[in-house]
Amino acid sequence: MSAESDMEYSDNDGDDYDYYGGQDDCDMETVDRSKADPEHFIFSCLKVEEVEKLLNESIELLSNSLQITPSLAKVMLHAYEWNAEEIINKYKENANDVLVFSHVKPRVPSIQGNSSRTVCAVCANTPPIHKYSALACGHYFCNDCWAMHFEVQIKQGVSNTIQCMAQDCEVLAPEDFVLSHVTKPALRERYQQFMFKDHVKSHPQLRFCPGPNCQWIYQAWVRVGARRVECLGCETLTCFSCGAPHHAPTDCATIRRWLTKCADDSETANYISAHTKDCPKCQICIEKNGGCNHMQCGACRYDFCWVCLGDWKSHGSEYYECSRYKEDPNLANDNQHAQAREALKKYLHYYERWENHARSLKLEEQTLANLKSRINQKVMAGEGTWIDWQYLWDAARLLKRCRYTLQYTYPYAYYMEVGPRKELFEYQQAQLEAEIENLSWKVERAETTDRGDLENQMDIAEKRRTTLLKDFLEFNTNNASSSKV
């Protein structure tokens, strides 16, 4: 989605987005819908400065209650995944354990005789005694070597975990020690940037938005199962738990497997990603330019399905068969070669549909942009106000949300075991798919579609979507109670 801010009708800017990239009205109906949405997930989208403030609060809290430097507090928070409370409790029990676990102190006190302050063990130079320094482990090295060591480490992107230079010593250099040796301003800045990034990455309640060049950071309190977060800046949909693109109803492990598989098999699968197909009836070349999979040949008016090229009539509203992959029952008797071929066929079946919906989503964004300009034209021409056409806009956004979920049902189905549960899933998937294509068809021809008819279709599609998610989003039943807060 692109420029939403230039929408003329947009009079409620403060609330100008919902999870799927649209603006949300604050009326009761919308609020209820988001509550009924099985994907509903509480999170916030923070700016860098806000996160810095948040981290500083933890650092201050710890440094005040343990009477330690903020620099040391950072080392400990990093080691304990930012759980200040846990550190404070454990510190009261056994301070030494906490210091050792955080690598502030060495496990065993080092033998002082080991570290000479007459010859530096790293550079073999002999600077005067005041030009040596050491961490809590007492391994003294000359300040020039420390500076070089930090420079090399920072340039390699290391920040919170720079170790002492002595052999087998795991003691970490805290920020103030590093900065007392690093003088180049650019290097100091890089060190602090890396440190911040590392803090966010090690913090269980934070995650960077993976959108390109995006600076926003998500904050949430649950990190298990497919959890949808949407960026305020770039509108990317991400799973908070794993950082992959949001993927319900598929779970985190499965989507990782699927994406890896698709990357590995992209060669084999590439041939299907063509943008054009021949009309199955008159063979004229048709380019797909909308997201709808219900195609109509401009030449012969034949209605067919873009995915399977079958007659659209056979995709009747009762049972949309095209989404279901039929396993060959004679498979077990076949030889290995045939099984491999069958495996590829199965994969391609799911991949083709996955890819196709991804492409439809992109095309429907174009539809959305076109729709906006069409509505603007109508408003300019005095054919009603934006309020009158709002339903069309809502329909297009709902279509996007439904199709997104539909796309991510395919990896789920691919890995599902054959059985009644898979049958139920594919039945619901087929129903969702059918309603989405109906909706897509109507949205593309919105001006000639009856408003009541369209709104009815929206309702049906969204119901199918939530039903499927309610039944198959794993954490709804299994993981909700075990999530760590």
Among 55, 98, 252, 402, binds Zn ion (CB under 5 A): 252
The one of other proteins, Zn ion, none whose footprint includes residue 124, by CB under 5 to 8 A per kind, is other proteins
Active site residue 262: no
Distance CA 314, CA 434 (A): 11
Q: What is the DSSP letter of 163?
A: B
The CB-based long-range contact list for 259-263 (8 Å cut-off, 24+ gap) reads 261/347, 262/351, 262/354
Q: Which of 145, 169, 239, 292 is catalytic?
A: 292
According to the binding rule CB under 5 A, does residue 99 interact with Zn ion? no
Q: Would you state the structure tokens that stand for residue 272, as one six-digit string?
A: 């299907």
CB 21 within 8 A of CB 233: no
Task: Report the site for other proteins in 169-188 (rule: CB under 8 A).
Answer: 169
Residue with tokens 């330690």: 68
The residue type found at 479 is N
State which of residues 74, 103, 105, 139 lies at the interface with other proteins (CB under 8 A). 139
Nearest to 151, CA basis, from 183, 119, 194: 183
Which of 153/431 has CB closer to other proteins? 153
What region does 419 belong to: left with phi over 0, alpha with psi -120 to 50, or beta? Answer: left
Q: Which of 167, 183, 330, 482 binds other proteins (CB under 8 A)?
A: 167
Q: How far is CA 11 from CA 5, 176, 386, in A?
A: 10, 50, 11
Q: What is the DSSP letter of 132?
A: E
Q: Does residue 136 touch other proteins according to CB under 8 A?
A: no
Q: Which span (84-92, 177-185, 233-241, 424-432) binds Zn ion, by CB under 5 A?
A: 233-241
Q: Which does 137 bind (CB under 5 to 8 A by kind): Zn ion, other proteins, none?
A: Zn ion
- Kindly state the smallest distance separating residue 144's Cβ from other proteins, in Å: 8
* Contacts with other proteins, 143-162, as mask; x by CB under 8 A: --x--xx-xxx---------
d(CA 352, CA 231): 28
CA 264 to mean position of chain CA atoms: 21
One-letter amino acid for residue 402 of the chain: C
Q: Which of 45, 121, 361, 416 binds other proteins (CB under 8 A)?
A: 121
The residue (of 203 and 389) whose beta carbon lies closer to Zn ion is: 203
Cβ nearer to other proteins, comparing 181 with 223: 181
User: Cβ 42 to Zn ion, closest distance in Å?
Assistant: 16
Which residue stretch of 21-29, 86-94, 120-128, 200-208 sits at the interface with Zn ion (rule: CB under 5 A)?
A: 120-128
Beta strands in 288-404 (DSSP E): 294-296, 303-305
Choose the contact partner of 436 out of Zn ion, other proteins, none; CB within 5 to 8 A by kind: none
Q: CA 75, 77, 81: angle at the middle one, nearest 5?
A: 125
Residues 445-484 that bind other proteins (CB under 8 A): none
Q: How far apart are CA 439 and CA 453, in angstroms?
A: 10
- Residue 67 per-residue DSSP state: T
* In the complex, minimum distance from the CB of residue 243 to other proteins, in angstroms, rounded to a whole number: 24
**CA distance linking residue 320 with residue 318, whole number of Å:** 7
Which residues of the chain form contacts with Zn ion (CB under 5 A)?
Answer: 120, 122-123, 137, 139, 142, 145, 164, 166, 169, 171, 209, 211, 214, 216, 231, 233-234, 236, 239, 241-242, 252, 279, 281-282, 297, 299-300, 302, 305, 307-308, 310, 322
Which residues of the chain form contacts with other proteins (CB under 8 A)?
Answer: 121-124, 139, 141, 145, 148-149, 151-153, 163-169
Give catalytic residues, as residue numbers. 292
